Amino acid sequence: MKNLYILSILSLAGVISCDDRNDFEPPVEITNSANVTVDGIERSFINNEITGNTNCNMIYVTVSNFHEDEYAGYELDFDISKQGDLIRVEYLERTGESGRIPFYLTHAFDPISTMNISDFMYDESSNDLSFNFSGTIFNETDNSIQREINGTIDVENHKEFECSIGLLTRMAYESNEFTFKDTYIRKSTYPNGSQRHIFYSNNGYRLEFNLNQQLGNLELGTYPIVENNLPAFINLFKYTGLLIATQSPTIVNSDWNEYQTSGTFTTTDKIEIDGGLKVKGYFDLDVIENNEVIFKIDRMEFITFGN
């Protein structure tokens, strides 16, 4: 009788054990992951909490836990070039039932002065992406309010969008004397037909390319740049003002140190897509301050608006 009782207990344990195995859920496969620390508080994110895409030369990444709580959480957005150049970082933070979402971002004119991207890796064939980040972001309403952030992001097969003509702009150059990695390019065409292209860099420079006609109207070739004279001239500026973090910065002339230039620009290609026109080329420039050449720029490549 004692042996029968023991056997029954063992049989019941076996049934319970089988039921446990049937209820077992396999581990979640992690394809995307991020670890983010904001003011010393660390959070981990996986899979669809990390989203974004690539388009032309740009990579966009969003890390968010807004789905977890209607009244709490944050979203962190990165704009980075495929070469690992930081364009901007934006951060939105929910703070209670009021629905208020404070907005933080990097320096408007010099983002790499307070934010660093390191150990960057992007594979063009697989769209795998990883990088580390660390630095300071600033409340747009009151730049004295800051958040310290750092972390890592690792994404497999980041979504790829077909390159759109509107995003097909670029200015990039790096030497021992001068570096320019664009964050934003703006074009203005005036009633008299003249045109101005303004290039902003991620390290505090602004380059203004002035023409007496639309760039796309020129035949491909090399043209002179004469100091402060049309048909074409370039002014280069370096930001020297106070830190400013805003989505709509205003140019205040006293905040910029101006350099004159002379040299040539060369147009090498015209790209037409869906009615839009972009022009590729490069600048060869002497940069001048107080009538002296302070450094030279050789073959600084650009893609900008043609019409």
Q: Same domain for 185 and 247?
A: yes
Q: Same domain, yes or no, for 143 and 191? A: no
Domain count, the chain: 2
Q: Is there a domain that residue 12 lies in?
A: no
From the list 118, 133, 122, the residue with the least C-alpha distance to 156 is: 122
| One domain, residues 187 and 256 | yes
Query: Which of 96, 125, 155 is at the close of a domain?
Result: 155
Which pLDDT belongs to residue 14? 47
Query: Which residue is it, tokens 């697989």?
Result: 126
H-type alpha helices, the chain: 2-23
Shared domain for 40 and 151, answered yes or no, is: yes
pLDDT score for 2:
41
Give, as one character, the DSSP assignment of residue 254.
Answer: G
Q: Which residue has the tokens 């388009």?
A: 55
* Residues 172 and 141 both lie in one domain: no
Whole-number Cα distances in Å, 104 to 65, 78, 235: 16, 12, 31
Same domain, 110 and 221: no
Q: Do 192 and 298 belong together in one domain?
A: yes
pTM assigned to the model: 0.85
> Residue 56's domain spans which residues?
32-155
Evaluate whether residue 8 is within a structural domain: no
Among residues 124, 155, 186, the one where a domain terminates is 155
- The string of DSSP codes covering 177-246 is S-EEEEEEEEEEE-TTS-EEEEEEETTSEEEEEEESS-GGGSPSEEEEEBTTBTTEEEEEEEE-S-----
Please, are residues 262 and 225 in contact by the beta-carbon 8 Å criterion?
A: yes
Confirm whether 4 is domain-assigned.
no
| pLDDT-flagged residues of the chain (< 70) | 1-26, 67-72, 96-100, 165-167
Same domain, 192 and 151: no
What's residue 10's pLDDT? 42
Same domain, 149 and 235: no
| Domain match, 149 and 171 both | no
Residues 119, 171, single domain; the answer is: no
Contacts of 208 (CB under 8 A, 6+ apart): 196, 197, 198, 199, 234, 235, 236, 237
Q: How confident is the model at residue 165, as a pLDDT?
A: 58
Q: Could you say which of 155, 176, 201 is where a domain stops?
A: 155
